[in-house]
Amino acid sequence: MATLIFWLVVLVTVASAIAVVTARNILHAAFSLCLTFLGVAATYIFLHADFVAAVQLIVYVGGILVLIMFAIMFSSNVVEDTAEGRRGLLALGAGAAGMAAVFAAVLLLTSRLAEPLKTANPCANVAYAATVSVEAGQTGIGHCLMGPYLLPFEVVSVLLLAALIGAVVIVRKEVR
């Protein structure tokens, strides 16, 4: 049953990811992107990364997707068919080459890195992470975030603030 659901999720994710790229209407691409985000979130749940799945839903589906929708509505003629906005055969060739390269990298990675790393894991000493379970995972994320990764966490918050201020400054009309 789990296998069936997993394949269903994979099918939906791959199909919608390809639909994002090939859709003629930008709005259709955005809707397909929503499906892709949902599929990736489902895969996170399969990977026991429940917190990441929740963040994915909130940030991507609830935030970025809405932002993209707004940008599409603001900035382009949605009815306009973008069929000629593609670069035909050259692009297909480049895309196929890129896919081949990515697949080669994936195969290399799975053959080389499928065993545990020998380097020390900064989160290994967190007391709550001793057992491998979903609850321990969520607790461990909090302890990791407030422990070994406190500095990156704060830097990310500063980055978000700077990005938001920058976005406001960029779109603001000039006031003289």
CB pairs under 8 A, 24+ apart, for 149-153? 149/122
Asked whether 56 and 26 are in contact (CB, 8 A), the reply is no
HSE-CB at 85 with a 13 A cutoff on CA atoms is: 9
Min dist CB 58 to another protein, Å, is 10
d(CA 22, CA 15): 10
Residues whose CB falls within 8 Å of the CB of residue 122, separated by 6 or more in sequence, listed in order: 144, 148, 149
